[in-house]
Amino acid sequence: MIEVKNLIKNYNGFCAVDDISFKVKTGEILGLLGPNGAGKTTTLRMLTAFFEPSAGEIEIKNLKIREDALKIKNLIGYLPESAPLYHNMLVFDYLVYVAKIKGIKQEDINDRLARMSSLCGLSEIMHKPVCELSKGLNQRVGLAHAMISDPEILILDEPTSGLDPNQIVEIRKIIKNIGKEKTIILSTHILSEAEATCDRILIIDKGKIVADDTAENLKEGAKSESHITLSLYDADAGEVKELITSIDSSIIVKDAHCAEKNAISFKIKVSGIDDPMKKIYLRIKETDWIICEFKHEFQSLENIFHKLTTEDGDNSDNENGEYNGNSKNSLAQQEA
């Protein structure tokens, strides 16, 4: 449905979007992720024909962005980060006004409003002034605005920005429901939102695409490098390090510190090795050391995002030498 080819946008010598290409299939929810200033909003504004590309092509349903901008706009519902609402109007009056601007026939307006009220949860606020609404309710009205003409494509720029956790969940549910019928592109820098909502994630940094895959595939690919936390009673740190590193050259002991009385905790980095937990456990089993903690920690989407969008590309350890990952119970699982 949407094809972007070698898209570039320059501002007075600054390249905001740098030669990106991607496709979006009909019915797909694509998450456009990136840090602030990565080029997400600029990309969306070019997709919606509000900005003209400096170079490259955008095709939507075989329409070209330069030649068919108006036709493309008619296919798209767009919600910018701050919903463009008239705060002195009632929600009902505002949506009627938008429906008329969108060219919806007078006899169809009430049906469209009823549909938007149901889909976006507006039934209790239709006769309230927009100025009295919370940020979350404003976003719902903004979604109704974007959806009222029943567009085939919905483009949302930071749809949950500034919302509290409950409001984020509500908006996320609405987007998932809409996604059953529409093709959606949404931008965000909230990783959990993209993981829970999107079929596919495209990560952009400094105007370039640095990853394009499903959340599961991104995390699966990161499993080649993981960390193990191991705590032992009555063990000598030097002897433990020597024993563990002798198992395989890809096993590296990164940190050792006293966890509690008579216990030493180790952070172990492993990569490219099958069943590292089992191999370490069998060697520990040959000694008199007592295991008090043993867990495997895999990369989270947050870790992957950080690695792809920072200069150093390594946040496997924070300032305290602790790895922030999604831990999985290990010894029992490995034994099973």
pLDDT of 169: 86
Is pLDDT larger for residue 255 or for residue 292? 292
Closest by CA to 321, choosing from 245, 255, 222, is: 255
Mean local confidence (pLDDT), 188-212: 88
- 325 pLDDT more than 60: no
Q: What are phi and psi of 31, to 5 degrees?
A: -100, 120
How far CA 34 is from CA of 11, 99, 312, in Å, comes to 19, 33, 16
Does the structure show a pLDDT above 60 at 323? no
CB-based contact 30:193 (threshold 8 Å)? no
Q: CATH 3.40.50.300 occupies which residues in the chain?
A: 2-213
- Is there a contact between 232 and 257 (Cβ–Cβ < 8 Å)? no
CA dihedral 266, 270, 276, 279 (to 10 degrees): -60
> CA 331: distance to chain centroid?
31
What confidence tier does 162 reach under pLDDT thresholds 50, 70, 90?
A: confident
Q: Is the pLDDT of residue 336 over 60?
A: no
Closest residue by Cα to residue 6 from 83, 89, 65: 65
Residue with tokens 């099973």: 336
pLDDT for 222 equals 64
Asked if residues 46 and 53 have their Cβ atoms less than 8 Å apart, the reply is: yes
Mean pLDDT for the chain? 85
| 79-104: average pLDDT | 93
- What is the pLDDT confidence band of residue 248, given thresholds at 50, 70 and 90? confident
pLDDT in tens, 56-80: 999 999 999 999 999 999 999 999 9
Rounded to an integer, what distance in angstroms lies between the CA atom of residue 259 and that of residue 255? 12
Q: Is pLDDT of 327 > 50? A: no
Which comes out higher in pLDDT, residue 99 or 222?
99
Mean of pLDDT values over 2-10: 95
Tell me which of 3.30.70.2740, 3.30.70.2860, 3.60.10.10, 1.10.10.10 is the CATH number of domain 220-335.
3.30.70.2860
Q: Confidence band (pLDDT; 50, 70, 90) for 335?
A: very low
Residue of higher predicted confidence among 201 and 263: 201
pLDDT of residue 21: 96
Task: Tell me the two tokens of residue 69.
Answer: 């901008």
Please list the helix, strand and coil fractions of the chain in percent, rounded to the nearest 5, in that order. Answer: 35, 30, 35
Mean pLDDT across 300-325: 57
List CB contacts of 229: < 8 A, sequence separation 6 or more: 265, 266, 267, 268, 293, 294, 295, 297, 323, 327
Q: Each residue of 20-61: pLDDT tens digit?
A: 999 999 989 999 999 888 999 999 999 999 999 999 999 999
Tell whether the model's pLDDT for residue 123 goes beyond 70. Answer: yes
| CATH code for the structural domain at 2-213 | 3.40.50.300
Read off the pLDDT of residues 309-320 as tens digits, 9 standing for 90 and up. Answer: 876 554 444 433
Per-residue pLDDT, 104: 94
Reported as a pLDDT band with limits 50, 70 and 90, residue 223 is low
Structure-block tokens of residue 243: 């024993």
Domain with CATH 3.30.70.2860 in the chain: 220-335
Selection from 152, 223, 249, 183 nearest residue 30 by Cα: 183
Question: Which residues, 6 or more positions from 114, have their beta carbon under 8 angstroms from its beta carbon?
Answer: none
Q: What are phi and psi of 49, to 5 degrees?
A: 70, 20
Among 16-25, 102-111, 322-331, name the one with the lowest average pLDDT: 322-331
Asked if pLDDT for residue 324 goes beyond 50, the answer is no
Which residue do the tokens 């969306």 mark?
A: 44
Which residues, 6 or more positions from 14, have their beta carbon under 8 angstroms from its beta carbon?
none
The percent of residues above 90 in pLDDT, for the chain, comes to 50
Mean pLDDT of 132-158: 92
Region 212-226: mean pLDDT is 77
Structure tokens at 84: 């463009």
The whole-number pLDDT of residue 259 equals 64
- Quote the percentage of the chain above a pLDDT of 70: 90
